[in-house]
Amino acid sequence: MSMPDSRRPRPLLVIYTGGTLGMQETPRGLAPGGNIEARLARALKGLPGGTLAELPAYELLSLSNPIDSSAATPADWSRLAAIIAARYRDHPGIVVLHGTDTLAWSAASLAYQLQGIDRPVVLTGAMQPLEAPDSDAAGNVALALRFAANPVLQEVAIAFGGRLLRGACARKWHTRDAIAFESPNAPLLGELIAGTARHYPEHGLAPEHGLAREEEIAPRFELPDYAPLGDGGVARIALWPGISTRQLAAWLNDPRLKGALLEVWGAGNLPDDPALLEQLTRASAGGKLIVAISQCPHGTVRPGDYAAGQGLTDAGVLAGGTMTPEAALTKLVHLLAQPLEDAERRRRFLAPLVGER
């Protein structure tokens, strides 16, 4: 008697959203290509040695309207999270194939939306298309598949260039290098060593995040509609020498604005300008959620360290700690999309939800 199908290992789900990985050469340059399932299978077969035989089984879902990574919006983040939330129980792990330009943004947003996920959600992409000479595409997909098959990994992560990074702590660091992503203020979750995908569970989320469980607990997904914030609901404002109150006011006084990410200098410094601070105070008092992170990629924001930064705290601006711009802005979008009281929204921004701070 043959073994029932129910005894076979369930396949991973691979979601193709678009990106360089699936593009093909045309007379006018790279353009989105079709037939991704057959092309991906062919590329994986071309990997060295017995790599293909070691990979877990998967089934592929290709979005009917692929996401242009450079044109991605919060509505795209909502759409992708909804797909995963609807299908994750049928698969032991999820792999998302995504364009690299905004891959870190999507990963951070998915982490907030899929809080408490009890299996791996691994994003990856490529700097070169599948068929390009010496392409990194097949290798990145193979790495993502291996990590997505590891049940101990229970969070959103990025597999790229031989490394596994926390999705809410990663940034695209290079425009062309195969090791294109970094995690400036968090350790690696894993890496490829001598052909083996080594996971470092000691770097995973702590038990208070609900991911170290002895019995099954339903994930506490939060899937608000981000679309209303897509029309200027959240702004990213980087200070520069000479920024004027008028320029800051142009952003903060926009009635569509609900929150802003302010990128300040050093550990939390900004110009000694009472009028500029008054604009921040007025916006914060008016219910707009304003947070500050450092323009430095490493280290944390500590506004009280210098007198020049004390004004941020006095103005009601929240410190983002070591958060990346991607993690801070997507968290703003996530919290502002929910019907929360201002005090609760501020409390939750200051709390680590998915290891982002």
Catalytic position from the list 20, 102, 124, 330: 20
- DSSP code, position 157: E
Those residues whose C-beta lies under 8 Å from the C-beta of residue 52, and which sit 6 or more positions away, are 44, 45
Q: Where are the alpha helices (DSSP H) in the chain?
A: 36-45, 51-54, 74-87, 103-113, 137-148, 245-252, 274-285, 307-314, 325-336, 342-350
104 neighbors 172 (Cβ within 8 angstroms): yes
**What is the maximal distance between C-alpha atoms in the chain?**
81
17 labelled catalytic = no
Q: Give the chain's end-to-end CA distance (angstroms, integer).
A: 54
Tell me the two tokens of residue 95.
Answer: 């792999």
149 neighbors 59 (Cβ within 8 angstroms): no
Taking the mean position of all CA atoms in its chain, how far away is CA 321?
17
User: Residues of 119-149 as b/e, b for ≥16 C-beta within 10 angstroms?
Assistant: bbbbbbbbbbbbbbeebbbbbbbbbbbbbbb
Known catalytic residues are: 20
